[in-house]
Structure 1
Amino acid sequence: MASTTDKRWLLLRHRTWWVVLDVPRKLRRQLGKPRFAASLKTHDLAVAQARRWSFLSRWRAVIDGHAARTTTALDVVEEGLAWRETLELIERNDTATVSGFRSSTGPGYFDPDRYDAAQPYSAQEDARHVAREVLQERIEALHHDQRRPADANTLASLAFGTATPLLTFVDAWLAEGGRRGPYPARTAAMYRADVLRLADWIVAKGLPPLVESVTRKVAGEWITGLSKADKRRGTTNRRISAVSSYWDWLRRRRGIEADPWTRQSLALTHHATADDDRHRAYTDDELACLLAGPADVEMHDAMRVAALSGMRMNEIFQLRAADCQGNRFFVRKGKTAAARRFVPIHPDLAAIVARRLEGKPSDAFLMHEETRTDHGRSAPFSKRFTRYRIALGVTDKARPQDRQDRVNFHSLRHWFITKARRNADQAVVARIVGHAQQTITDHVYNHGAGDDVERQCVEAVRLPG
């Protein structure tokens, strides 16, 4: 955090900065006040940032003298990070920060054990010495007076840059993403929630929210708790995979060495009939049942677009009016790099597309009923479709106890591909549905069979009934 934005424990009153520290509620009657406050006698924020530390250290000593461990692990982490930023500013010889520390000690400050009149301290050396003196007093008060060596070590490690806060780099990690680039919005949201879940658990356990707090033993305890709370082992493994990806990024970008997640995933139960677990295409009778059912307009249109284009659900719900011109759909991005493609609009979809485009601006969604605008905007529809399908009796589970069906909305894509392959080469179908090509010939040197061939392939697919 830059010095111009760090206003922790600071308050601006009548253009003058004050330092303020709340007193824990249970101690307010003993201390006779709800908070400590003092004027820092400066209009300069950077000077105020430097001067606050002597007040904060003194006040915390008073609070700690009335009740042990009044601060939490999060408080110590926040304090340590603020100290780190202050020390870094001094090392960069930030004028206001250096001036603030010298001013806070009085014009005649010097260390009698080190002072040499022939070689007086520079302003930076003076500020560095004063800051470290104040910090050391706080660390020693935690360690010896309060008998909290773990918190003292946490504060020191963060202040001197040898510890890594657990949540500080989550945004940078998610923005960079994995091997395929930034994570989709839905994936990023899940990954963030998984790391936050770990951080909350660590704090509840009484540990500071630091990367270094997560030893292999601590990771194992967290996973054990997850396995009891999650209904499915696959869900637990997904959470482990998320935090493991974050640790991998921290190793590559921040230089941490610990890897507590290796070989921590739970073993999954494999069935002898594993091939039967796979999702499959709808039969013609199943598809006819879905198309003839009491579907609303959105579901009526979405099922037909999927069955006659092979597009994924998210691709359909990300289409905008500008992507449905020239008698073809333009899928801008999707699950893989190959997902970016043009898909001929089937003649049986022309009326649906024309109706949905009427009067819309170019940036309006083709499937406009959903209110969400992120990449998870198809999620509510997915749940509605599942309820619709089950109500019609279109369901197929490999085993009665299974949670998932072998048929779902994606089975419309399976159905399209199955029909299209009866009339076209594999490479042609792969380009239409956005699959990566399997050979160098098709992936590198083949630039498409041509719009006419792809259009013939799409138009050869006919809905049942």
Structure 2
Amino acid sequence: MSKHIELRANTWYAVLVIPKDVRSILDKFKFFKSLETTSKKEARQRAAPLIALWKSQIDEARGNVGAVNSEALRWKGYLSTATDVELDVLEESLLDKAQSLINTIGKDEAVEFYQVAKGYKTPLDSNYQKWKEQIILVPKTRDQTVKDVDVFIKRFKTIEKVTKQEVRKWTDEILAQGSSIGTVNRLLISARNYWKYLQKIDVASLDSEPLNLKGLIPTVKKKNKKGYIPFEPSAVVRLWNAALAKGEQELADLIYLGAYTGARIEEICALQLKDVTDSSFNIIESKTNAGVREVPIHSQLTAIVKRLKDNSKDGYLLTGLTFNKYGDRSNNLGKKFGKLKTHLGFSSRLEVFHSIRKTLVTQLENAGVSEGVTADIVGHEKKTMTYGLYSGGNSLAIKKEALEKIQYPF
């Protein structure tokens, strides 16, 4: 520590030379502050927190820390343990730091920095990492929730800023930017997840519910209960032909398989050779329990299934697909399908690959197939107690007979 103190005119000073790479950012050659003592021992003690804080400023200038709140918390920690002259020195330095921040981050941010350092306010992100470590959600939902909370924290900065009035202003800002009510509600749900954690660890008041805006923002319009729109059988053929014309054999195969199975896109992409027999697909990975099922191989699929099995190089029916970070193999083909259908003029957000699943269900209904058989083919829950709870499901032969009624103008 002796190298960071200097004796001048019988008074000790704290000194830290600033590295060349950040001098232009900090606009000075070195940090220099009187320790107001003639004792070298006292000088060492008083200089220690100053040197640590100056080093954190250097780190921040280099982008290693980046968060002003992190430095403010360091100041708060040193101020809480300082006494007498050491406290006076630190408080004087804190005022200098806050004054310098006005020129770099603005007056409001500088004032907030000072208030956090003095303990008047609490940074909203101070427990962010701990919250991330304990949340238990499916991967996609978890990632979206984390992104939403990032937006929430950047907007409010401190816990004290999170008031119902300010939250209402925030939602108005989001809507003014062109986002939907659904997006606003999603952001609020994610923010409440974080806020409840802060309440759980006694950082936020249990009596404060600033993120509950029930009745203060517009409600989401109810969506069409039927959801996605089924393609006409001829449209499915158009999509298949267009994929072939573009040289997208994998996409064409995906469409063909979907047309005669009604399977979800990821169910098809997850099919391994060991799950494909001469007569059926055993779908063992699905979004629901009912989705785990055995689907007969339609006679029109016999040739394509043989070709795909013979050409597979990785044990999957659709070979060569890569996994995304969530473990899905369908991501790339899903994007290709989206571009293809848009190119062909199917521009509705309700016309997606899942629409092919609806095409098959519609054809089965029109062919007079019972709802129970159709449910067993596509993997839907049966709502009745008798069939839904006690039945083992329709036989493969009955499902096969029903599926053979499906035809496309390929």
TM range, smaller chain:
0.5 to 0.7
TM-score norm. by structure 2 comes to 0.67
Following TM superposition, by how much is the alpha carbon of 1:283 offset from its aligned partner in structure 2, in angstroms? 2.0
Out of 280, 299, 306, the residue aligned to residue 258 of structure 2 is 306
Indicate which of 328, 350, 360 corresponds to 1:416. Answer: 360
Q: Which residue of 2 aligns with 1:192?
A: 146
Letter in 1 for 2:144: M
Counterparts of 2:165 and 2:66, CA distance in 1: 20
Say which of 225, 248, 263 aligns to 2:173.
Answer: 225
Q: Which of 201, 210, 229 lines up with 1:260 in the alignment?
A: 210
Structure 2 residues without counterparts, runs of 5 or longer: 1-15, 33-43, 57-62, 99-109
| SS of residue in 1 equivalent to 2:67 | helix
Structure 1 length-normalised TM: 0.60
Task: State the alpha-carbon separation in 2 of the partners of residues 81 and 342 from structure 1.
Answer: 61
The aligned counterpart of 1:127 is none
Whether 1:290 aligns to 2:239 is: yes
Asked if 1:165 corresponds to 2:110, the answer is no
| Equivalent-residue separation in structure 2 for 1:139 and 1:427 (angstroms) | 80
Matched with 1:74 is 67
Aligned residues of 2:50 and 2:90 also touching (Cα < 8 A) = no
Aligned residue type for 1:387: K
**Structure 1 position 57 matched with structure 2 position 2:** no
Once the two structures are TM-superposed, the CA of residue 379 in structure 1 deviates from its matched residue by 3.8
Tell me the percent identity: 19
- Map of 1:77-226 to 2, 5 A cutoff? 77=70, 80=73, 133-134=81-82, 141=90, 146=95, 151=113, 154=116, 165=126, 167-174=128-135, 176-177=136-137, 183=138, 185-202=139-156, 207-208=157-158, 213-226=161-174
Q: Distance in 2 between matches of 1:313 and 1:250?
A: 39
Where structure 1 has 5 or more consecutive residues not aligned to the other structure, the ranges are 1-19, 35-51, 65-70, 85-129, 178-182, 396-403
Identify if the C-alpha distance between structure 1 residues 155 and 349 changes in structure 2 by more than 3 Å, giving closer, same or farther.
Answer: farther
Q: Any idea what SS the aligned residue of 2:128 has?
A: coil
Secondary structure of 2:290's partner?
helix
SS at match of 2:165: helix
Aligned pairs (5 A) from 1:378-417: 378-394=330-346, 404-417=348-361
Residue by residue over 1:105-147, the C-alpha shift from the partner in whole angstroms, topping out at 9 and shown as x without a partner, is xxxxxxxxxxxxxxxxxxxxxxxxx996359977994599527
Query: Shift in Å at residue 414 of structure 1?
Result: 0.5
In structure 2, what is the equivalent of residue 242 of structure 1? 190
Change (3 A) 1:266 1:142: farther
CA distance in 2, matches of 1:53, 1:460: 87
Which of 386, 394, 402 is matched with 1:457 structurally? 402
8 Å contact kept, 2:227–2:350: yes
Equivalent in 258, 262, 276 of residue 324 of structure 1: 276
Name which of 290, 293, 297 aligns with 1:338: 290
Task: Call closer, same or farther: CA 1:375–1:63 in 2, change over 3 Å.
Answer: closer
AA partner of residue 50 (structure 2): R
Q: CA deviation at 1:412?
A: 0.3
Separation (CA, whole Å) in 1 of partners of 2:152 and 2:231: 40
Cα 1:56/1:303, change in 2 over 3 Å: farther
